[in-house]
């Protein structure tokens, strides 16, 4: 027998030498939820270990992550219903929750990369990512709102803005607005391939941002988020957003769409991000709590699969756990 592949698996040393894919803390982004009340903390039952945090607690969490080697956080604001309205006007308030959180993070941890979400749903009373009129989510009326939101976040100190709304043309609108306001160095992470997925449930519960349908409000986001059946359409979105000025391209969700991550990687030279979403993280936690799998091993295996598929950047709620595990190796 001349060919024995097992020779390359015989010891930890040889396995390390021939390993094709690596995972490190430099690949990870930690999503964080911020709420009002400087010292407040509201646990998220469906996401053990995570909570909506007041700004002081948010800063402490980000500082702990940064000390473990995590270079970036992504912020998502949880607003009270009283602060929401149909046109998401709080999203551009200089003293709004997200803007205050960005400023606090940049003061406390200057080297931390702060990524902000550009979408109407955390701020809108109807829960949609765009303007709703006549029972429809209206694309072009939404673009100026998103552009103004991105500029407000950049003014607060955001390093990268991340449009997650899936409106057509929003990357160009955001890029032009940022450049006109003097923020040509602020990057854009486009959620260019975002599916209408069942795996977002814990996230929407954390932000109370699910659509609130009535006679004039659509029940779901299927007219703007992508059909899970499609992959060629994803490549069209990639080409459009790259041409409009995106700096990174995001695929969301992650694990059920690793084939899409691979296809996007093959189609672009831009950095590719993938989102290990709330439902994926919650499933690992739930199974581990029941003793059905080893959470630590399953987490690292999941994150490694993103890297193997071609992701350069991984947004994951398991970033801190993964960083601790990687540092112990």
In a domain? residue 8: no
The predicted structure's pLDDT at residue 28: 98
Among the listed residues 84, 194, 221, 285, the single catalytic one is 194
List the one residue out of 243, 263, 242, 240 whose CA is nearest residue 251: 263
The predicted structure's pLDDT at residue 172: 98
Pairing of strands 51-53, 41-43: antiparallel
The partner residues of 161 in beta bridges, in order of sequence, read 116, 188
Q: For residue 309, what pLDDT band results from cuts at 50, 70 and 90?
A: very high
Counted domains in the chain: 1
In a domain? residue 3: no
Q: For residue 268, what pLDDT band results from cuts at 50, 70 and 90?
A: very high
In a domain? residue 6: no
The predicted structure's pLDDT at residue 145: 98
| Owning domain of residue 196 | 23-328
Q: pLDDT tens, 193-225?
A: 999 999 998 888 887 778 887 868 998 999 999
List the one residue out of 115, 169, 181, 175 whose CA is nearest residue 143: 169
- Sign, CA dihedral 189-209-150-116, equals negative
CB 224 within 8 A of CB 183: no
Measured in degrees and rounded to the nearest 5, phi and psi for residue 160 equal -140, 130
In a domain? residue 17: no
Q: Which residues contact 120 (CB under 8 A, 6 or more apart)?
A: 87, 88, 91, 128, 129, 130, 131, 142, 145, 146, 149, 165
Name the region of 32 (left: φ>0; alpha: ψ -120 to 50; beta: rest): beta
In a domain? residue 18: no
Question: Over pLDDT 90: what percentage of the chain?
Answer: 93
In a domain? residue 167: yes
The question of whether 106 is a catalytic residue gets the answer no
More confident residue, 61 or 205: 61
In a domain? residue 10: no
Among the listed residues 84, 106, 221, 252, the single catalytic one is 252
Q: Which spans in the chain are helix H?
A: 12-18, 55-67, 97-108, 139-156, 170-180, 201-207, 232-244, 258-267, 278-289, 295-309, 319-328
What 3 state SS string does 107-159 have? HHCCCCEEEEEECCCCCECCCCCCEEECCEEEHHHHHHHHHHHHHHHHHHCCC
Q: pLDDT tens, 233-250?
A: 999 999 999 999 999 999
Query: Is the pLDDT confidence value at 164 over 80?
Result: yes
How many whole angstroms separate alpha carbon 256 and alpha carbon 196? 12
In a domain? residue 11: no
How many whole angstroms separate alpha carbon 42 and alpha carbon 53? 7
Q: What's the mean pLDDT in 72-86?
A: 95
CB 165 within 8 A of CB 124: no
Q: Which residue has the tokens 């691979």?
A: 262
The predicted structure's pLDDT at residue 180: 98
The predicted structure's pLDDT at residue 329: 74
CB 36 within 8 A of CB 326: no
The question of whether 252 is a catalytic residue gets the answer yes
Pairing of strands 160-163, 113-118: parallel
CATH number, domain with residue 300? 3.20.20.70
Nearest-5° Cα angle at 152, 201 to 141: 70
Query: Is the pLDDT confidence value at 27 over 90?
Result: yes
Q: Which residues contact 230 (CB under 8 A, 6 or more apart)?
A: none
Mean of pLDDT over the chain: 96
The predicted structure's pLDDT at residue 215: 63
Q: Which of 43-52, 141-150, 215-224, 265-274 has the lowest mean pLDDT?
A: 215-224
């Amino acid at each position: 027998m001349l060919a024995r592949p097992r020779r390359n698996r015989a010891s930890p040393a040889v396995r390390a030498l021939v390993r094709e894919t690596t995972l490190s803390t430099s690949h990870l982004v930690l999503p964080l939820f911020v709420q009002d009340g400087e010292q407040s903390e509201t646990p998220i039952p469906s996401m053990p270990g995570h909570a909506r945090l007041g700004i002081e607690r948010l800063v402490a969490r980000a500082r702990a992550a940064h000390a473990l080697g995590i270079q970036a956080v992504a912020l998502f604001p949880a607003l009270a219903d009283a602060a929401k309205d149909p046109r998401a006007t709080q999203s551009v308030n200089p003293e709004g929750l997200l803007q205050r959180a960005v400023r606090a993070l940049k003061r406390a941890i200057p080297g931390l990369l702060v990524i902000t979400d550009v979408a109407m749903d955390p701020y809108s009373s109807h829960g949609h990512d765009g303007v709703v009129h006549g029972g429809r989510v209206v694309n072009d009326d939404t673009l100026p709102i998103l552009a103004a939101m991105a500029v407000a976040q950049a003014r607060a100190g955001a390093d990268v803005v991340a449009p997650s709304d899936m409106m057509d043309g929003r990357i160009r609108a955001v890029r032009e607005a940022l450049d006109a306001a003097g923020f040509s160095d602020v990057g854009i992470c486009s959620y260019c391939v975002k599916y209408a997925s069942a795996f977002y449930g814990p996230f929407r519960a954390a932000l109370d941002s699910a659509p609130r349908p009535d006679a004039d409000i659509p029940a779901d986001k299927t007219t703007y988020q992508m059909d899970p059946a499609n992959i060629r359409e994803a490549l069209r979105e990639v080409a459009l957003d790259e041409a409009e000025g995106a700096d990174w391209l995001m695929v969301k969700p992650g694990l059920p769409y690793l084939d899409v991550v691979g296809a996007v990687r093959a189609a672009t030279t831009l950095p590719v991000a993938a989102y290990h979403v709330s439902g994926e993280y919650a499933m690992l936690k739930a199974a581990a709590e029941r003793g059905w799998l080893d959470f630590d091993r399953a987490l690292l295996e999941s994150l490694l699969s993103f890297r193997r598929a071609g992701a350069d950047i991984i947004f994951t709620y398991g970033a801190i756990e993964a960083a601790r595990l990687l540092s112990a190796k």
